[in-house]
Amino acid sequence: MLDDTEAEVSRSTAALHAWAEQLPEPVCEAVMSADAASPVLFRAVPAVRHELSPLRAAVTEWAQGFGFDRDTLADLVLAVDEAVTNAIEHGYRNQPAGIVRFFAGHSPVEKAVNVVVADSGSWRPPPSEPGVRGRGLSIIRAVTDRFDLHHGEHGTVALLSWKLPGEGAGGPAG
Amino acid sequence: MSTGTQTILSCRVEQHGDATVVRVAGEIDRWTEDDFAQAVDESMRGRPTRLTVDLRDVTFMGTSGLRVLVEAQHETQRMRIVLGVVPGRGVARRSLEITGLDQMLRVFPTVAEALARA
Ligand SMILES: Nc1ncnc2c1ncn2[C@@H]1O[C@H](COP(=O)(O)OP(=O)(O)O)[C@@H](O)[C@H]1O
Ligand SMILES: [Mg+2]
């Protein structure tokens, strides 16, 4: 049993690293720095709207145990949902069977948790008059400690990071 | 296996004299957005003097839900209906605060207060 589990873990670690190597350099680094001993989520999510709720549930469960307060946990789930929603409704607007690659892990080096949302769709230039739209990216920017958005020929990759509690940008406390 | 939106969102429209209350429970996201919008639209149809959206039992609300509220604000202004929102103390309040929409909408701590003062 244990051997099976270990084999499984190393297989999925290999898959994770193979995927990470195709990502933009800074995002690849964030994924590679994930601590294998901490819980990691690595999923291929079909780009359909009813996948959002179960993914939020998984993220909520994964995010427990890092010591985040209630508001930060809510912010994290909110921002992740916006990024995945964008991949589904914008990135794959022309493709019915897209896959959103999703990663969430803890980086001991960065003292942060990192979430990566990647689609292989196509970037849509934001409308100049967004009307009642256009709040998703600004929410993500507002509630994350780091937000990198890379879009190119092969789709869009978003990296969302939160410093662990007590690891503010001002350096180590005490 | 059921994938109906009703499994994660429920909207109930109640009549209180000439005021209407929409009680929302569950998750408002890009999937359930249309159901929420439909309930809000329906509640305006009888042209109540006041429309109160009770979000206290909402467990998730992203920009999809916020968009419905902003559209409702425009529509109720046009129809001269007074719109009130009761976000509660959970995630709905947080989403409204982050986007500053708590400043743009009339927010009340309880449905009773929304009905009395709106
Ligand atoms: N993954 C993505 N793929 C393609 N375009 C995207 C993606 N994410 C965001 N966009 C573009 O950025 C815009 C702004 O996104 P957002 O702030 O979430 O607003 P909204 O989703 O309401 O339009 C979108 O309208 C779209 O043009
Ligand atoms: Mg969006």
Is the CATH number 3.30.750.24 carried by domain B9-117?
Answer: yes
Half-sphere exposure of residue B5: CA atoms within 13 angstroms, side-chain side: 18
The pLDDT value given to residue A172: 43
How far apart, in whole angstroms, are the C-alpha atoms of residue B113 and residue B104?
18
Give A15-53 pLDDT, tens digit per residue: 999 999 999 999 999 999 999 889 999 999 999 999 999
The pLDDT value given to residue B5: 76
What are the residue ranges of helices labelled H in chain A? 2-20, 25-32, 52-63, 70-86, 136-143
Whether ligand 1 lies within 6 angstroms of the CB of A119 is answered as: yes
Judged against a pLDDT cut of 90, whether residue A168 lies above it is answered with no
Identify from A49, A89, A92 which residue to disrupt to test chain B contact, counting B C-beta atoms within 10 A and taking the largest count: A49
Ligand 1, from A90, A129, A140: best to mutate by most atoms within 8 Å of Cβ? Answer: A90
Q: What is the number of other CB atoms lying within 10 angstroms of the CB of residue A160?
A: 25
Both tokens of A144, joined, read 């994350």
Nearest to A135 among B8, B29, B63 (CB): B63
Phi, psi of A9 (to 5 degrees): -60, -45
Q: Which residue of A has its CA nearest to B74?
A: A132
Nearest to B31 among A52, A74, A139 (CB): A52
Nearest atom, ligand 1, residue A130 CA: 23
Q: How many angstroms separate the Cα of B65 from the Cα of each of B20, B38, B100?
A: 19, 12, 14
Question: A104 - beta bridge partners?
Answer: A41, A115
Both tokens of A20, joined, read 């990470």
Whether ligand 1 lies within 6 angstroms of the CB of B63 is answered as: yes
Nearest to B99 among A81, A133, A135 (CB): A135
Judged against a pLDDT cut of 50, whether residue A170 lies above it is answered with no
Give A59-113 pLDDT, tens digit per residue: 999 999 999 999 999 999 999 999 999 999 999 999 988 999 999 999 999 999 9
Give B13-57 pLDDT, tens digit per residue: 999 999 999 999 999 999 999 999 999 999 999 999 999 999 999
ipTM entry = 0.93
Identify from A45, A48, A51, A52 which residue to disrupt to test chain B contact, counting B C-beta atoms within 10 A and taking the largest count: A52
Nearest atom, ligand 1, residue A137 CA: 17
How far apart, in whole angstroms, are the C-alpha atoms of residue A84 and residue A44?
12
Give residue A166's pLDDT band: very low, low, confident or very high (50, 70, 90).
Answer: confident
Whether ligand 1 lies within 6 angstroms of the CB of A118 is answered as: no
Q: Does B28 lie at the interface with A, CB-CB under 8 angstroms?
A: no
Judged against a pLDDT cut of 70, whether residue A171 lies above it is answered with no
Contact call for B94 and A81, based on CB within 8 A: no
Contact call for B67 and A135, based on CB within 8 A: yes
Identify from A132, A139, A144 which residue to disrupt to test chain B contact, counting B C-beta atoms within 10 A and taking the largest count: A132
A42: distance to nearest CA of chain B, Å?
A: 22
Q: What's the CA-to-centroid distance between A113 and ligand 2, angstroms?
A: 22
Whether ligand 1 lies within 6 angstroms of the CB of A90 is answered as: yes
pTM for the structure as a whole: 0.93
